[in-house]
Amino acid sequence: MVIKVILLFPHINNYNSNKMKIECIKDKLIWGLDKVAKISGKNLTLPILSCVLFEAKKGLLKIKATNLDFGAEASIPVKVIEEGILAVPGHVVANFIENINDRIVLLEEKENNLAITTERNKTIIKTHNHSDFPNIPNPTKESSVKINTKDFINGLTSVWYSASTSTIKPELSSVHIYEQGEEMIFVATDSFRLAEKRIKVKKHNNFLPVLIPNKNIQEIIRILGGLEEDLEINFSKNQLSITVEGLYLVSRLVDGVFPDYKQIIPKEFKTEIILLKQDLINSLKLAHIFSDNFNQVSVHCLPKKNLFELKTKNNDIGENVNQLKATIKGEDIDINFNYRYLSDAFSSVNSDSVFIGFNGLSRPVVLNGISDKSFTYLVMPMNK
């Protein structure tokens, strides 16, 4: 199977008007539609963006979809009886194919409709003018790097949740990727928290730092998930492309400068804590039940007793105090956090025990794993 996933700028295709007719295996068709159909959505202004494009040629069916910011192309092997191309509403065809029980599916264009025939079903779905469907660009390659696909996805999943959901500052609603020595570094921040993940790679002298829109990162993670081979990333000034296992991705890059975050990462701490990650996760879940509308949780560190205490109170529900045994050095501290900002980080910590460093009420807190220093997380306290 071959997949292409593309983030693109609109350009119109010019195709021959042959009447498409193919025969394919249902499971392969479902696989292709699953990769791309979710990208197409309801669009009243441009109905063509609600469609997937079917293009049958030389033993392959290419299935394409785009929302003009992100697009995808999946190629599956089929029996091509007649070459051709058509555009059909994505959610309709995907839902239908997913719910039929027959193994072999015949797809055929008839009088501006898509006719779908199986052993027990005959269905007609109205098509759209395929010439309105945007083209897929082929960006110029200025530099490239290779990395294992699982490592690349690990880098993205470790940080994407820390990017801003607002588009006012595009550089903050992006994932920043750059190279330092023999590490590829992934970082994202919304200015209240920051996540950084370092992945070992071979050094590349021509690696270009990039900013990828976070809304597209999530689609890239979904489509690339499960692949294990090395991928190749190619860079140009405005776009990034990825090739792996017959899979091709192109992303529009954000034109901006990521904040110089390294200077705000503390190297020394007034209070240092080490405790079991799972204990802290469980304690935060209990605390969240009683948190207020601001998701506020109070942290109290007691070095003399080696106790890490979490407190939450909700006037409408009740309150909770949970104490954990911990190794603590330094000063007592009583500080508030957004529950979600703390809990989001733990899926990225590949260690049984975590380190948390404090420097006072208005200073960022640092969290990372004891046995794995490749992930660093900063979070700002809440005002009391």
pLDDT tens for each residue of 68-94 = 888 888 889 999 999 999 999 999 999
Instruction: Kindly report, residue by residue over 116-157, the tens digit of the pLDDT.
Output: 999 999 999 999 999 999 987 777 777 888 899 999 999 999
Structure-token pair, residue 230: 């090395």
Q: CA-CA distance, 343 to 34, in Å (whole number)?
A: 30
Asked if residue 70 lies in contact with residue 218, where contact means CB atoms within 8 angstroms, the answer is no
Which of 47-61, 100-114, 247-261, 344-358 shows the lowest per-residue confidence on average (mean pLDDT)? 247-261
Q: Which fold has domain 2-132?
A: DNA Polymerase III; Chain A, domain 2 (3.10.150)
- Provide the residue ranges of all domains of the chain, joining segments of one domain with +: 2-132, 143-263, 265-379
Q: CA-CA distance, 238 to 23, in Å (whole number)?
A: 39
Asked if residue 237 lies in contact with residue 266, where contact means CB atoms within 8 angstroms, the answer is no
Closest among 191, 159, 153 to 172, alpha carbons compared? 191
Is 2-132's fold the same as 265-379's?
yes
Q: How confident is the model at residue 169 (pLDDT cuts 50, 70, 90)?
A: very high
Q: CA-CA distance, 24 to 184, in Å (whole number)?
A: 41
Give the highest mean pLDDT range of 32-46, 63-77, 239-253, 260-274. Answer: 260-274
Instruction: Kindly report, residue by residue over 295-316, the tens digit of the pLDDT.
Output: 899 999 999 999 999 999 998 9
Instruction: Considering only residues 59 and 16, tell me which one the structure prediction assigns the higher pLDDT.
Output: 59
Q: Which CATH class is domain 143-263?
A: alpha beta
Check residue 16 and give its pLDDT.
46
The amino acid that residue 247 corresponds to is: L
pTM of the model: 0.89
**Mean pLDDT, the chain, whole residue set:** 91
Check residue 383 and give its pLDDT.
75
Q: Is 265-379 assigned to CATH 3.10.150.10? A: yes
